[in-house]
Structure 1
Amino acid sequence: MPANQGPFPRTRFRRTRASAALRNLTREAELSVNDLIWPVFVCAGRGERQPVASMPGVERLSVDLLVEAARRAHGLGIPAICIFPYTDPSLKTELCEEAWNPDNLSNQAIREIRDAVPDIAIMTDIALDPYNANGHDGIVRDGIIVNDETVEALVKMALAQAEAGADILGPSDMMDSRIGAMRDALEAEGHVNVTIMSYAAKFASSYYGPFRDAVGASGALKGDKKTYQIDPMNRQEALRCVERDLSEGADMVMVKPGMPYLDLCREVKDRFGAPTYAYQVSGEYAMIEAAAANGWIDGEKVMLESLMSFRRAGCDGVLTYFAPRVAQILNG
């Protein structure tokens, strides 16, 4: 940074902090409702609410109640929701056929929300773990998560979601070449305006536990996901993955988890300039909620500060379970 300020007392940084008006004038980043994507969980049934014990305040909702939640989100000005299914264990198989069933829970929810709340953007998850008897994001053969066969399945899943009316596809599987395969298939089938937000830098993190509870993958998972998710120590590899996904046709990229990887958020935005997002994952959410419930922190202030950190780090938006609460605060 060039030395373009004089010595004290000619330069006093506290001058621009002296009042709320001056602080507002000199603020370098802003947090708005337009920066929020709300991850939601859908379950079978009607009028069904299922609290997620490890994520206080988060519930799985049946499709009819999820439609109501989407209406509420749109009314708050939240531009997008992201749907994750809780699949009945009886539908989980080793080949994950339910993933591209046109009438699976996710696709039902997409269609009903699209009809009821046409102006909200609907994002989906593309990975096989909610449908996999082995709990993995890919198909397992002899204990190995196979890449190319998984990509074929993911393409079928992507097309089913696009046909149902999804606006944003979120491949979270971390298989090699899946973005290019999906983009080619979408173009061939006429889904030229369906966007892809790639989980381009998704790390093999310990912060995902509560999410796996929410989608019912915890008990099914055999082993870990280290052969396809990125080593948390590998910054350069993460950047190479982002570059690859953009070259294959990703419209937006994501860093996951969020706050522990803010250095990657900043570098991705500065290096590539593409629309960049972070996922404030379930473990991050649960830690804030637990500390707030114990009176150790001011939950509302920490919630807002955590989201400000993403904007300061260069993110264009953030997936956060706090989205409705934050929107209410920001809307006054």
Structure 2
Amino acid sequence: MSFSSLVQDLSFRDAASERRPPIRGSASVSTFDDRASFISRADSHVSRARSYASTAATSVSISGDISSQLHGGYCHPLARSWQAERQLTKSMLIYPLFVSDIDDEETLIPSLPDQHRRGINKIVPFLEPLDALGTAADDPQGPVIATIRLLRQRFPQLFIVADVCLCEYTSHGHCGILRDDGSLNNQLSVDRVSDVAIAYAQAGAHCVAPSDMNDGRIRAIKLKLIEEGIAHRVLAPFLPLAIGSAIKLPPGGRGLARRAIERDIGEGADIIMVKPASQYLDIISDAKDIGKNMPVAAYQVSGEFAMIHAGAKAGVFDLKTMALESSEGILRAGATIIVSYFTPQLLDWLES
């Protein structure tokens, strides 16, 4: 018997018991008013039973299956936190830092709301109140090396990640060295990228993160780290995906991305990094699946950051809510580290 049937049956039994004649010898006498009162009470029981049955039918399916009732598991803020497999914490965040070769420069970047390009004299004042991490450009003789050394000296508690690539410093804008016919010279590109990575590591970077996709660059960097006696440095290759690039992975190439992840792990990667993040949550999930015992980092790139700001400015959603929700979505996909321009705000929001 279902719960709704049981409620209805008990209510009718209760009504029937009141219709029984009085016990012999009882002083009570049945009158028309008594009968009217009895009928009224019986009707009330029937009505109440039907109400109970209706309520029960709403709460419990006819088959008795209550597996669809989920709200109780997340109706309270604390209960909601218990349902989350990962909680965003400060230690998961990395803040990208843009370094200029003009010592006193602090210039707003037009395409990135509230983000600046800073010279070496502006780095320390900017970082002092924050426990943030920096990433840099790739010229070993330029401001990047000086900034790494400065950060190691002034903020020894920071974990410094150096983005290693060539595209910002080549005339053609590609992440490597080209032949005369415009094709990529993979071997020369690998040699150059690995040299830059070693320069960053020797300057004090705890982690070198090559964001090119030249074949064999992870193995080359790993071998040079060993040769230089700094094999303890973390090697965390990016897995960049982009439309129209000859060297970055195609957006629809999920199988190719999985092969690249397997290759990088096989060549000695310590962390797998995916960028952009929001558009490639499936790749983040694949990275976690393939590298089950490895950290997975996701880079919420400038375009994602700018889109969230634009949506909030247009009144589509609240900035804080969307920034947190996008970060939690990245974590849910499998990331354990997030590189985000929202890091300063996220640190404050997580504190409160």
- TM-score bucket (shorter structure): 0.7 to 0.9
CA radius of gyration, larger in: 2
| 1:302 aligned residue (290, 305, 322) | 322
For 2:67 and 2:165, the matched residues in 1 are separated by: 57
**Aligned 8 A contact 2:165 2:193 in 1:** yes
Question: Is residue 277 of structure 1 aligned with residue 297 of structure 2?
Answer: yes
Listed one character per residue, the Cα deviations across residues 245-270 of structure 1 (whole Å, up to 9, x for unaligned) are: 11111100111110110011112102
The residue number in structure 2 matching 1:16 is 73
From 225, 240, 244, give the equivalent of 1:202: 240
Partner residue, 1:255? 274
The AA in structure 1 aligned to 2:282 is: D
TM-score by structure 1 length?
A: 0.83
Distance 1:255 1:10, change over 3 A: closer
Q: CA RMSD in A?
A: 1.6
What is aligned with 2:111? 54
Once residues 11 and 140 of structure 1 are traced to their aligned partners in structure 2, the CA distance between those partners, rounded to angstroms, is: 59
Alpha-carbon separation, structure 2, partners of 1:291 and 1:11:
34
Structure 2 residue 251 is the aligned partner of structure 1 residue 232: yes
Residue from 48, 65, 88 that aligns with 1:31: 88
Structure 2 unaligned residues grouped into runs of 5+: 1-62
Answer yes or no: is 1:117 the counterpart of 2:136. no
CA distance in structure 1 between the aligned counterparts of 2:98 and 2:194, rounded to whole angstroms: 22
Indicate yes or no: 2:208 matched with 1:169.
yes
Shift of 1:10: 6.1
The answer on whether the counterparts of 1:310 and 1:317 sit within 8 Å (CA) in structure 2 is no
Q: C-alpha offsets along residues 276-312 of structure 1, whole Å, 9 cap, x if unaligned?
A: 1111011111111111122222111101100000111
CA contact (8 A) 1:155 1:185 kept: yes
Measured after TM superposition, the shift of residue 67 of structure 1 is 2.5
Gaps of 5+ in 1: 1-5, 86-98, 206-223
Task: State whether structure 2 residue 199 is matched by structure 1 residue 146.
Answer: no
SS at match of 1:290: helix
SS in 2 for 1:254: strand
Identity %: 32
Q: Where is the strand percentage greater, Structure 1 or Structure 2? A: 1
Q: CA deviation at 1:179?
A: 0.5
Inter-partner Cα distance in structure 2 for 1:278 and 1:306? 12
| CA distance in 1 between partners of 2:100 and 2:284 (Å) | 32
Larger RCO, structures 1/2 (Cα 8 Å, 6+ apart): 1
Alignment of 1:74-93 (within 5 A): 74=131, 78=132, 80-84=133-137
Pick one of 146, 170, 188 that aligns with 1:108: 146
SS at match of 1:308: helix
Q: Is the 8 A contact 1:42 1:105 kept in 2?
A: yes
**TM-score, normalised to structure 2's length?**
0.78
Tell me the number of residue pairs that the alignment of Structure 1 and Structure 2 aligns: 288
Q: Secondary structure at the match of 1:121?
A: coil
Q: Which amino acid aligns with 1:49?
A: E
Specify the code of the residue in structure 1 equivalent to 2:341.
Y
